[in-house]
Every structure is written in structure tokens, then in C-alpha cells.
Structure 1
Amino acid sequence: MPLDETLIPIERPVAAAEPGSAAASAGFGLAPEAPLAMPIQDLARWHPGSVRRASRPVRAPWLARLAVFGGALALTAYGGWQMLETVSVSGSPTGLQLVLVVLFCLTFSWIALAFTSGLLGFAMLMRRERTLDRPTALRTRTAVLMPVYNEATARTFAGIEAMWEAVEATGLGQHFDWFVLSDSTQADAWIAEERAFLDLRDRLGPEARLYYRHRPKNHHRKAGNIGDFVTRWGGHYDHMLVLDADSLMSGSAVVALAAAMEADPDAGIIQTLPLIINRNTLFARLQQFAARIYGPVIAAGLSAWSGRDGNYWGHNAIIRTRAFAESCGLPDLPGTPPFGGHILSHDFVEAALIRRAGWAVYMLHRLPGSYEESPPSLIDVAIRDRRWAQGNLQHARVIGAAGLHPATRQHFATGIAGYLASPLWLLQLLVGILLVLQTATERPDYFAGAGFSPVFPRFDPVRALQLFVLTMAVLLAPKFLGLILALLDGPVRRACGGAGRLVLSSLVEILLSALVAPVAMVIQSGSVVSILLGRDTGWNPQRRDDGSIPLRDIIARHRWHMALGLVAGIAAFAIATSLFLWMSPTILGLVLAIPISWASGQVGLGLALKDRRLLATPEEATPPEIAVRAGALTARNAARGYDEADALAAIHADPDLATAHARMLPVGRPRPRGAIDPDQTLATAKICEAETVGEAQAWLSPKERMALLHDRALVDRLIRLT
């Protein structure tokens, strides 16, 4: 007899959907399904004849690409020549010196490309462009998707509600349906989402077209979450607007994206430039300021040379649903993680595949009203960055896929290079130390020159200083270009506290970023080495709220960084004072790794700068209406205790919630005989033995809680406990 049948009859049964009913076919709280086929794409083969023809020819921005990549190549060649002259002043360069030159060229090319792209972006932003007209009518339907994974429910549903209200206020709300797509694997998060959804749906009414779906297994993570929507409901919608859990978009921005898709029949993905808002910790405010002041320059340059061969960042972008379904079914890569298995950074690959099929991918970098948040501390950024590093390095398996556009391959190459830059920079420092050590300890060669004067291996100090100045100029130029644009823009300048505070804020950002850079370099280098050694990162939920990390955790994370800085400093000083001075910025950042990381997550330090109007942004001075509304709704939701409630206690205390929860469970297939789920089996045994909800809470493990909540019979048993 199945274990479910051993449960005694229930006086208050939880309702289940009748077979064949709309609730059974669509799921309670979900729209009727309209499946779209999403075939898995072949990366090894591609038929050029399958590329769709554009409805209107558009020239690729070859001149912009020549300027950006040609300029970066010329700068790198000049810098490499200067480095070669610097290290080979004593004669022909040694093998170690040539290694230093090669490493320098590789790292310098990265910042040279950012420099030339920033110059192009600056030139584009200096031109006045007509702003997009606000659409007054739409013909198409768009699904707004918010994938969530163990997020703060109060914030998530506040964002959805605020955006729904904003879109309704445009008068075009009937063209949009709203989906919360949950992949949450924690019982408390799952039930909190259901409570928030039921409350919001009751207040907005069925005409709001608000839907919620929880996947029993988060197969292929976010890419699988979106793919599940496409294959089940995609047929209803012309477009889908993909968000993140921390995304906010104004109503005008949402309808402008839908109108842009309607106006461009060749567009597959249209990306926006999200601005960071609502940040209070020191590190998050640094990111917020940098993204607002410097980000537009980089984004405009990227948009200019990418043209319609652009990239996709996974959120705050609108996608043509059928084009996505036909082109973006992601294959699993051969082998095991970190380089095999499902594709981690799916967004780049989806942009590549939809572009391969002939659809345009581009960015509306001037479109206002697109926002996101950022991690609150250096450690939080490092955790997220580890996953991004694995995803970008995994693209080495995709960059050679058949049929990809050259600009797409460049996007992949840029992403890979961005993560290899840190270990290459570290190697460059180590080789530099070895060369200085060699200079300090090697005996002079009396026979290398034409005469009998001794020749010492040495550097050319004048050229070294010139090269340092060139490197700093190229590195910091995009920041200064962004600062110039902000200073020339009266409203932005005044919102940032005036010209003086704006300049001082930039200097503060540059100084603090310089201190953080060595720590980030070592962390990122460790991540790359770990990935190359075959260690998978997994997928941990991102911490989005402000708040500090316990000091003991900070010390545990950064003690080796501090030790490395101390050893490097002592060794450099022992070798040569000049080496110590040359390495002092790196040494200082590593030695101060623990206090820097601690300070990065402090709300008090961030607010102290905010009170003095330092690191201020226009969105901070005059918060967007959508952010103000979302903040108020978040506070209201938090007061309702969604994120604090225990899932089992919430279900037990509210029979209506238990009934709704059961109706939202998918109608699954019977378990095959002999296929025993240990978590469900243990959950069944424990819930049958428990007499009180307290005992159930104490006995059930997190996985057993999830198994219980997926089983209607076990939920029935739970609500009968005392």
C-alpha cells in the first residue's frame, strides 16, 4: 500500500483540482497554456540558408569598429614598444623581459579597448538625439517575467506591484500580463511567495492578469526557468520583458520597449541600460555612482560599435518570443561542470544564437526608467563574480560555434578576457618582481658592451615613468570622460551636489576603487584558478539588502590576502626601495583587505557620505517615482511578515492558504514502483509521527520540508496537527 494511503481520513481536506478542470490543466493562478516548441540548437553545425532576411537593410557600423579596435591595437602596439624599450635598455631583452612585455600587452589591450570605446561613447553622447516619443497605442501582447530564486518576497512583489501600477497608468496595461516565475528551493521563500501572490491577486482582481508558477525542480536554473515559460505559455505573447528580482522599470520605459519591438520587425532582443539605485552601503554607493557617471560613456560606445550585433545582459530587456523559441534552445555542453553541463551565463549565448538566426540585438542606452540594485559589499560581489567568471570562461566552449557573427565572437572574447585579465595582471607583477630581484642580485656583465665597462641589467626610469603615465591615462580616461559629461549637464551636476562635490566624489571613487582593485584581482585570480582546476561554483542566491557581514567571516575570507600583502611588502622593501614604491598601491590594498572589506558593507559609512552629498547621483537626489512607490510597498509587505514566517507554521495556521497552495501544485504523474524518493519517504514518516506543528518543524530537514509541501496528502496531515 502506498505510504500516502496510510494517512487517516482528514476532517478538513485540502482541495485539489478536479482532473480536466481549468485549474488542473493550467494550474491555479496560471493562464491556460499555449505551448511553443523550443528546439535545442546545434552549436557544431549551421546552415546559412536558414538565416532570415531582414525586412530592411541596415549597414553595420564598420567605421566605428575600425576606430575602436584599430585604435586599441595601435595603442597596445605603442605601449608594448615602450615597455620593450624600458626593459631592454641594457641590450637585447632576456627571456623573462620578453615574458613581461607579452603580459603587459595582454593586460594593456584590455584597458586600451575600454579607452577607445569610451572615446566613441563620449562622442556619441555629445550629440543631441531625439528622445523616444511616448506610445499612445500598442497592437501586441507582452509577458513581463520576473524569475525569482529564494529572494526577499516583500521586495519582489513590491516591485511587481509598483510596475503594474505604473504600466496601468499609461493606459496601455491591457497589453501586458505579469508572471512571477519561482525557482525557489527554500520552503519559507516558496510559501512567502504564495502568500504575497494571493494577497496581491485578491487586491488587484483577475483583470490584472497576474500569474505565479513554482517549478518543482530548478532545472537549468534561470535559463530553464525562462525556457519553461516559453514552452508552456509563450504562444500567447508576441514579446516577453525579462526582469531580475531587483529590477524596476517605469511604466513609460516598459511601453516604450514594446513599441520599439513593434516598430522594428527585425529586432530579436532590445536591451536597456539599467541604472543602480537604492544603495546605502559604502561599496554599493561606489558602484551606484560609477554606473551613473561613467557607465553611460561605456554603454554608448558599446552600443555604437556593436550596432545591431549587440549583447544581452539577461534582464531589463524585451525579447521577441517566437524568435527566442526558435533560436535559443540551449544545449548542454559535453563533460561536467565547470566547463561542461548546462550553460551558466546563458544570456550571452542566447544573444549569439538569436543573432545567428538573423534577428537584430541592440541597446537603447538613452531610454530612461530602467533600474536595478547591486550587492552591498565586496564579499557579496565576489560571490556573484565567481559565478560570472565560470560562465564567461565556459564561453570558450561556445565562441567557436558555427554561424556566429564576428561581433558576437568579440563579445565572448571580451567577456573571457575580462576574467583572464586579473591572473595576467598578477603574473605581470610577479615577473616584474623577479626582474627587479635579478637586477639587485645578478653580477654585472663586463663583456656585454663594446668596452670594458660593466653592464648591469636595469630599467630605463624615464621610459618607465612615461609608460606609467600612459597606462594611468588610458585606464582613467573613461572615468574622466563621464565626469566631463556630468559637469556639462546642468541638472545632473546640480543633483550631484555641484561641480565641486561631483569632482570630489570622482576622486573618492577613484581612490577607494584603487584600494579595492588589488583585493579584487587576487580574488578573481583565485576564482579563475579554481575553475581551471575543475571546481563548480553552483548557484547561490544573491544577497541584495544592505547590511554588514560578521567580522569573523571577513577575517576568514581575507586573512590570506592580508598575509600576501605583508609578505610582498617585506620582500619588495628588502629587494629594493624602488620596487616597494612601485608596488605600494597593490601592497596597501592587500594589507588593508580586512578593514576595506569591513568598511565596504557598512551602511553608516555610506550614509555619512550621502549626508555630505558625496557619491550622490540624480536618482538619489530626486528618486524615480517607481522607486518611491516600490519602497513604500516593500515596507508594507515587510510589515506583513512574509519573509519572517515559517512555511509550516503559515500553512498550518491558515487553511485557506493550505487549500490555495495545494491547488497551485502541478498535477504530477504517479511515482513509478520502486522509485523511492528518500526525502518524501522521511517526510511522510515524520509527519505521520508528529503530534504538533512544533515537532514537525523540529524534525523535518529543509529538503524534507520541500518534499512535504509538494505532496497534497502530507499538507493535509500538516494542517491537522495541534
Structure 2
Amino acid sequence: MNDRAPQKLWRWRTVARIRRSLLALLVFGQTAIASYYLLWIMPYHGGTAVEIGLLVLFALLYAWIAVGFWTAVVGFVLRLMGGDKHSLLNRYSSDDLENTPLVKTAIVLPVYHEPVHWTFSGLKAVYHELECNGQIEHFEFFILSDSRNPEIWLEEQAKWHQLCDELGAHGRLFYRRRGVNLNYKSGNVADFLRRWGRRFKYMVVLDADSLMSGRTIVRMVQLMEREPQVGILQTNPSIINGQSLFARLQQFGNRLYSSLFATGIAAVQMGHAAFWGHNAILRVEPFMQHCGLRKLRGFGVFEGPIMSHDFVEAAYIGRAGYEVWLEPGLGESFEESPPTLADELSRDNRWAKGNLQHLWILCFGRRICLAHRMAFLNGIMAYVASPLWLAFLALTTVAAAELTLSPIEYFPAGHEGLFPLWPEWRPEWALTLALSTLALLFVPKFLAIIDAIIHGLAKGFGGPWRLFLSVWVEIVFSVLLAPIRMLAHSRFVIASLLNVSLSWAGQNRTEETGWREALITQAPGLIMGGSWAVFAWWLDVSFFIWSLPVAVPLILAAPTSVLLSRVRVGQAIRRAGLLLIPEELAPLPLLKNAAENRAQPASPWSIGRFEQAVLVPLVHQQQLALARPDRHSRRAVRLNSLVDQCIRTGPAALNKKQISELCQDRVALAELHRRAWIAPTESYWGQAIARL
């Protein structure tokens, strides 16, 4: 550690305490005022059980959105002042960083049933970036596969060989597929570290949809070299390549609003930032030493492997005395959005269970600092806020029904004495409270417009007027999507608490949502929204009008889901100059390169990947080199039987596990190759050879 480190450590911790205290004062002070307003808006001023429940739920939800509001305000003010002077980037001049030598760094790409050509083409673009920067000798690339489908992992291996040949990357670009994929992505990375971690000082983790420029990767390594106390350095990825309307909405909102929110979050968290699991650099030695994830020892969802590992790893490395920083100023870091609402909700289903597991660590984790505990709470609330909102709506309905259908209670439960409790209504206070709540939700969006204009970024969004219109389009669809997400997330939270098992699958990147799928998946929302609206109409016209912002989106959930998934609608919006982002109007060389790589068609074959591994000499030799040479006698008998069956009837008679066994055994694969090439012309293999 350099001589300045203790002083910097003391300074940022002091600044962080001041900022967090100020944020807490603003959030809880504003929440207390809003709760006071609600207390006096309610007819019995908290004198009934229903009103107490409403007050508690309102305070939790209001504080939750107030945190987001004040985080955006902090980000807006800091950007107005030229950035956070306490950030890592602002500690050093460009010359200081440029003169910092690089060290051996691994770039790892965990994959699981991803589109192979698309994913590997993105990695090729990242490799090419570092090569063009003249820094490739400091980096090695590792593709870490957990794929189980032999058609996919055989394609992965073939594409890896192809990339090595194209890039001249033999000895620099590696591929490994685990035989047993324990503990999801974190287990895959842990397997890599056990085998090769000691060779590297740093590790950059990518996702299948990640792209990072060579300049950003190099700058991250240089910052880590300058700051030996930093264990994880996280960038803020921008969403790109949105084609459907849904994806375009996501990437526009991310690109415009994240400048404020990321700057604000980084300024408050400072060296206690969260880790999002990708587009980040990790110091390998302390990560290996302190971030091993034991299985949870609780019950239900709180038992077994940790699914959302990233926040936990940040907390553990922070517990070991290392810092975790988010540095929005790095830039040129990208990822992609799920193309449809259905795909986003499928992903959220997994994330909800993983984030709820953090409740166990939040309560029982030892020596975890308060800031990381708050990060756990923030992630939990991202999903728990939905059932809280649903409960708030339910209690509101109960309160409205009581006021309409039941006689006025002058002596509610808990209120005894000679004097009655007279119900009061304060409509002007209710209006003020509603406007303040709307301000928390929407003011940050318009601050982002002002920020873009001030910093000369509006042109990248199509100009100020198109930017303004785009924000309104995004607001309309945000209002439509909020109740749909609320209902879905509520279901996910309940299912997680009941420990309903989940399947882990690769992300869909191309398919649109059909009407049948949308009607089936959104039917519960349609029934609930329609029933609630009918009941509200029967109960009271004013309550019916109040229910519409939630009921109407639920009723329209199916057509909304279908519309948002349509690529042609997204492209029409783009042609109209709306929902644009700067990377579309002036793409970086990295993005151009990745797009060109992905646009190149994959090599056409008239037979499947397994047939190629058996028949095509070059592919067969590559697979033999990767297969296991040794075999036990008992296993050999079974494999010989599978070879006989495969020759007689073809691979259709075998399941995926059996095909994988054949491909991974050198003797069995060689025997298949020999016998397939001498098979009769009318047999399956004879016809496959003819197709070649």
C-alpha cells in the first residue's frame, strides 16, 4: 500500500459517513412528514387496525422511492459540479494512469446455453480491442461453459477452435466445460480460480452479453494497480442493441437515467459499493481467500447454494478489509436487455429468489459493514416492495369498503371514553401528498433531461425535443408496466418463500411474445384488474377513478406484452427519432466490430453438431483432443453398448446425457467415427455422409 493510502482511506470513510447521514436525514425526514400527512388524511387518523396497516405500508414504500429520488438528486448535483472529486478516477491524472504498467489479467466469460455464434463474436470484438491497443500480451481469455446440451457445447468447442485460428490466439484463448455444474455461475468461476487463479493478479468477469472497450479494461487494471486496497472495481454498463420496443425502452431509460443514479449511488456507497457480477475487475488473491460461498444453513429458500452471489462476494471482500468501488466515469461498458417483458419477468423470477436469500445473510452474517447490509436490503426491497404495494392496495380497498358499506365507527377498537372519534376528510392534504409522491417518481426523469442538455448529450438522444418526447413515451409505458411487474414480483416472492424450485436457462434474445403465451401468462392480472375495477365501480365512482392507474394496465397486460415484444414497432419508433441513444447515432469501434462479427453467418452444415464430431475429420480430431483418454472397465461396457446402439439407429435413440458421454470418451468417439464411415449407404450414418 502506498503512503497516501491511509490518509485516503480515512478521508473517503469520513466523507461517506457524512453523505450517508445526510441521505438518511432527507429520506426519513421526508417520509415522516408524508406519513404525518397520511395520518391526518385518514378519517380516523390511525384509529383503526386498517389505518395503522396502511400507515406502516405507506411509510415503507415512500421511504423506498425517496431513496431513489435523493440518489438521483445527489447525482445531478455532483455532475453539475463536474463530478465527484473523491472518486477513484479523480485521484489521478491521465498521465499517471497511462504510465502505470499492466500485469497478467484473466478475462473470463461464463456461459450456459447461450447463442454460440452471437456470444463468441462479442468476445472476439473485446479481444480485437485489446489487440489494437497493443496490450493483448497482458491478458488471457477463458470461456467457462456450464452447457449441458451436447449440440450447444459441441458448437462452443468448434467455435472456440475457429476463434483461436482466426485471432492467432492459441495459448491465449482457452475453453473449459465443467463436468458437474454446481452452484451456478459462482461455482463456475470458483472452479476456474481453483485451477488457474494463482496465475493472475486480476480477473475481469464478463457476461454472455457483455462488451467492454480495451481502453476501459486497461484503465481498470491501472486503477487497481494504483489502489492496492481495492478488491473489486465495478463499471456501470449501458444497455445496447435493443430491437424490440421493450428493449428500446429499457436501453433508453438506462442510458439517460443511469448517469444520475450511478453517480449518486457511487457517491453514497464510495468504497462500500455493490458488485453486480459482471463488467468488473476483481483482485484475485483476496477474492479467492475471502469470497468462497458456503451453502446457507437455514430452511426453505434460506438453505442451499447462494443464487445471487455478487452482493455477497462484495460484502465478504469488504469484511476482509478491502474496498469495492463503482466508477461511472470509466464508461464504454455495455450489456443487453431481455427482448420481451416475459423474458425480463423470467429472469426476475430467479433474481427474486436469490435476493431473498440475502435476508439470511443480512440478519446472521458476521462482521458485514452497515453499507453492505443496506445494499442487501436495497436488493431485497427491489422485489418485496411489490407485495407491500399489493397489500397497500388491498387495505385501501378494505378501508373504502368500510367507509361506504359500514356505519361510521365513533368508538373504533382501542378508542374508549365519553367522547366519540369523529371521522375527518382533508382532500387538500391528500392532493399535496399525491403530488409529492408523483414528484419522487418523475422529477428524476426530468432532471436527467436537464443534465443531458447541460452536458451536451441531448444531441445523442436525437436532440432536446425528441429527448423530451422520448421521456414521455418511456413514462407512459412505465406506468403501464408497473402494475404488471408488481403482480408478477409478488407471485415470485411468495413462490420463493414457499421454496418453489426453479430452472436455470439461457436468455432468449430474439423471440417475440405470441398472443397465446401473453393471454395465458397475463390472465391472472386481467382477472384481478377487471374484478377490482368492477368492485370499485359498484362501491364508489371516486374510488373507481382512483383504481384505474392500476386496474387498466392489468387489464391491458396481454396486448401490452405483445406490443412491447414486436421488433417492427421498436424499429418504427427508432425511425421516428424516438428512444434513441448516443451509441446508435455514433457507435464506438467496439460496437461496430461486434455487430460486424455477429452479422457474419455461421458456417452452414447439413448435419448436426454430434454428427459433425463423428464424421467430419477436422472436427472429429478436435473433439478427440478434448475427450478423456482413460476409461474404467464397467464404464467401457456401457459405452460400447451405446456405440452399438448409435450405429444401428442413429443418435435419435440416445438422450443428451448419453450423447455427451460418447463425445467425452476418446475410445468411443474414435470407434463411432470408424464404424460410421463403413456403415451401409441406406443406414442413418450412410445417409448422413451423403448429406455431407
TM-score between both structures, scaled by the size of structure 1: 0.87
The percent of aligned pairs where both chains have the same amino acid is: 35
- Which whole-Å CA distance do the structure 1 matches of 2:205 and 2:629 have between them? 27
- Which whole-Å CA distance do the structure 1 matches of 2:464 and 2:169 have between them? 51
- Which whole-Å CA distance do the structure 2 matches of 1:593 and 1:474 have between them? 25
2:18 is aligned, of 47, 59, 63, to: 63
Note closer, same or farther for the CA distance 1:630–1:208 as it changes in structure 2 (3 Å cut): farther
Structure 1 residue 137: Cα displacement: 5.5
- 8 Å contact kept, 1:192–1:645: no
- 8 Å contact kept, 1:270–1:318: yes
1:473 is aligned, of 423, 439, 454, to: 439
- 8 Å contact kept, 1:216–1:710: no
Q: Letter of the 1:329 partner, please give it.
A: G
**Is residue 442 from structure 1 mapped to residue 406 from structure 2 by the alignment?**
yes
- Which whole-Å CA distance do the structure 2 matches of 1:319 and 1:696 have between them? 47
1:161 is aligned, of 117, 120, 124, to: 124
Q: Letter of the 2:625 partner, please give it.
A: R
2:105 is aligned, of 142, 147, 150, to: 142
2:661 is aligned, of 707, 713, 718, to: 707
**Is residue 579 from structure 1 mapped to residue 543 from structure 2 by the alignment?**
yes
- 8 Å contact kept, 1:163–1:248: yes
Q: Letter of the 1:714 partner, please give it.
A: A
- Which whole-Å CA distance do the structure 2 matches of 1:424 and 1:446 have between them? 29
Structure 1 residue 656: Cα displacement: 2.3
- Alignment map for 1:202-221 (pairs within 5 Å): 202-206=165-169, 209-221=172-184
2:156 is aligned, of 193, 206, 210, to: 193
- Which whole-Å CA distance do the structure 2 matches of 1:55 and 1:236 have between them? 32
Number of the residue aligned with 2:681 = none
Structure 1 residue 536: Cα displacement: 2.4
Number of the residue aligned with 1:7 = none
**Is residue 235 from structure 1 mapped to residue 198 from structure 2 by the alignment?**
yes
Instruction: Look up the SS of the partner of 1:366 in the other structure.
Output: helix
- Which whole-Å CA distance do the structure 2 matches of 1:690 and 1:176 have between them? 42
- Alignment map for 1:617-636 (pairs within 5 Å): 617-636=581-600
Structure 1 residue 546: Cα displacement: 3.0
Number of the residue aligned with 2:37 = 82
Note closer, same or farther for the CA distance 1:197–1:225 as it changes in structure 2 (3 Å cut): same
- 8 Å contact kept, 2:164–2:170: no
Q: 1:617-670 CA distances to partner (integer Å, 9 max, x unpaired)?
A: 11111122111101111122x33249x962212212322222222322356785
- Alignment map for 1:223-622 (pairs within 5 Å): 223-335=186-298, 338-399=301-362, 400-445=364-409, 457=423, 459-490=425-456, 492-543=457-508, 545-622=509-586
- 8 Å contact kept, 1:138–1:172: no
- 8 Å contact kept, 1:281–1:547: no
Instruction: Look up the SS of the partner of 1:294 in the other structure.
Output: helix
Note closer, same or farther for the CA distance 1:366–1:585 as it changes in structure 2 (3 Å cut): same
- 8 Å contact kept, 2:513–2:561: no
**Is residue 172 from structure 1 mapped to residue 135 from structure 2 by the alignment?**
yes
Q: Letter of the 1:478 partner, please give it.
A: P
**Is residue 691 from structure 1 mapped to residue 650 from structure 2 by the alignment?**
no
- Which whole-Å CA distance do the structure 2 matches of 1:455 and 1:337 have between them? 45
- 8 Å contact kept, 1:443–1:456: no
Number of the residue aligned with 2:680 = none
Which structure has more helix as a fraction of its residues?
A: 2
Structure 1 residue 683: Cα displacement: 6.7
Number of the residue aligned with 1:49 = none
Note closer, same or farther for the CA distance 1:337–1:537 as it changes in structure 2 (3 Å cut): farther
Structure 1 residue 276: Cα displacement: 0.4
Q: 1:227-260 CA distances to partner (integer Å, 9 max, x unpaired)?
A: 1111100111110000001000111011111111
Note closer, same or farther for the CA distance 1:532–1:392 as it changes in structure 2 (3 Å cut): same
Structure 1 residue 418: Cα displacement: 1.6
- 8 Å contact kept, 1:272–1:365: yes
**Is residue 716 from structure 1 mapped to residue 670 from structure 2 by the alignment?**
yes
Instruction: Look up the SS of the partner of 1:177 in the other structure.
Output: strand
Structure 1 residue 339: Cα displacement: 2.1
Number of the residue aligned with 1:663 = 625
Structure 1 residue 176: Cα displacement: 0.6
Structure 2 gap ranges (5+): 84-89, 677-684, 686-692
Q: 1:391-419 CA distances to partner (integer Å, 9 max, x unpaired)?
A: 11001111131111111111111111221
- 8 Å contact kept, 1:242–1:315: yes
- Which whole-Å CA distance do the structure 1 matches of 2:608 and 2:286 have between them? 42
- 8 Å contact kept, 1:665–1:710: yes
Structure 1 residue 690: Cα displacement: 3.3
Structure 1 residue 352: Cα displacement: 0.6
- 8 Å contact kept, 1:67–1:116: no
- Which whole-Å CA distance do the structure 2 matches of 1:281 and 1:718 have between them? 44
Q: 1:30-61 CA distances to partner (integer Å, 9 max, x unpaired)?
A: xxxxxxxxxxxxxxxxxxxxxxx969633311
- 8 Å contact kept, 1:250–1:626: yes
Aligned length: 656
Q: 1:491-535 CA distances to partner (integer Å, 9 max, x unpaired)?
A: x21121111110110010011010011011000000001111121
Structure 1 gap ranges (5+): 1-52
- Which whole-Å CA distance do the structure 2 matches of 1:312 and 1:395 have between them? 14
- Which whole-Å CA distance do the structure 2 matches of 1:315 and 1:217 have between them? 22
- 8 Å contact kept, 1:178–1:211: yes
Q: Letter of the 1:140 partner, please give it.
A: V
- Which whole-Å CA distance do the structure 2 matches of 1:377 and 1:115 have between them? 27
Instruction: Look up the SS of the partner of 1:143 in the other structure.
Output: strand
TM-score between both structures, scaled by the size of structure 2: 0.90
- 8 Å contact kept, 1:687–1:696: no
Moved more, 419-428 or 120-129: 120-129
- Which whole-Å CA distance do the structure 2 matches of 1:530 and 1:565 have between them? 21
Structure 1 residue 374: Cα displacement: 0.9
- 8 Å contact kept, 2:646–2:654: no
Number of the residue aligned with 2:613 = 651
- Which whole-Å CA distance do the structure 2 matches of 1:322 and 1:472 have between them? 47
CA RMSD of aligned residues (A): 2.4
Q: Letter of the 2:440 partner, please give it.
A: V
- Which whole-Å CA distance do the structure 1 matches of 2:268 and 2:450 have between them? 22
Instruction: Look up the SS of the partner of 2:231 in the other structure.
Output: strand
Q: 1:167-221 CA distances to partner (integer Å, 9 max, x unpaired)?
A: 1111111111111111111111101111111111112224661111111111111
- Which whole-Å CA distance do the structure 1 matches of 2:29 and 2:172 have between them? 55
Moved more, 696-705 or 169-178: 696-705
- Alignment map for 1:6-25 (pairs within 5 Å): none
- 8 Å contact kept, 2:46–2:55: no
- Which whole-Å CA distance do the structure 2 matches of 1:57 and 1:92 have between them? 47
Instruction: Look up the SS of the partner of 1:639 in the other structure.
Output: coil
- Which whole-Å CA distance do the structure 2 matches of 1:682 and 1:347 have between them? 41
Q: 1:98-155 CA distances to partner (integer Å, 9 max, x unpaired)?
A: 1111110111110011111111111111122568556355241100111111111111
Instruction: Look up the SS of the partner of 2:367 in the other structure.
Output: coil
Q: Letter of the 1:69 partner, please give it.
A: A
- Which whole-Å CA distance do the structure 2 matches of 1:668 and 1:441 have between them? 79
Q: 1:266-314 CA distances to partner (integer Å, 9 max, x unpaired)?
A: 1100000000011110111111001001111111111001110111000
Moved more, 458-467 or 243-252: 458-467
- Which whole-Å CA distance do the structure 2 matches of 1:555 and 1:95 have between them? 38
- 8 Å contact kept, 1:54–1:358: no
- Which whole-Å CA distance do the structure 2 matches of 1:141 and 1:660 have between them? 28
Instruction: Give the number of the structure with larger relative contact order, counting CA–CA contacts within 8 Å between residues 6 or more apart.
Output: 1
Number of the residue aligned with 1:39 = none
Structure 1 residue 681: Cα displacement: 8.1
Number of the residue aligned with 1:21 = none
Note closer, same or farther for the CA distance 1:91–1:118 as it changes in structure 2 (3 Å cut): closer
- 8 Å contact kept, 1:124–1:300: yes
Note closer, same or farther for the CA distance 1:668–1:327 as it changes in structure 2 (3 Å cut): farther
1:127 is aligned, of 81, 88, 110, to: 81
Q: 1:682-712 CA distances to partner (integer Å, 9 max, x unpaired)?
A: 77534312336xx323111223222322222
Instruction: Look up the SS of the partner of 1:244 in the other structure.
Output: coil
Q: Letter of the 1:619 partner, please give it.
A: E
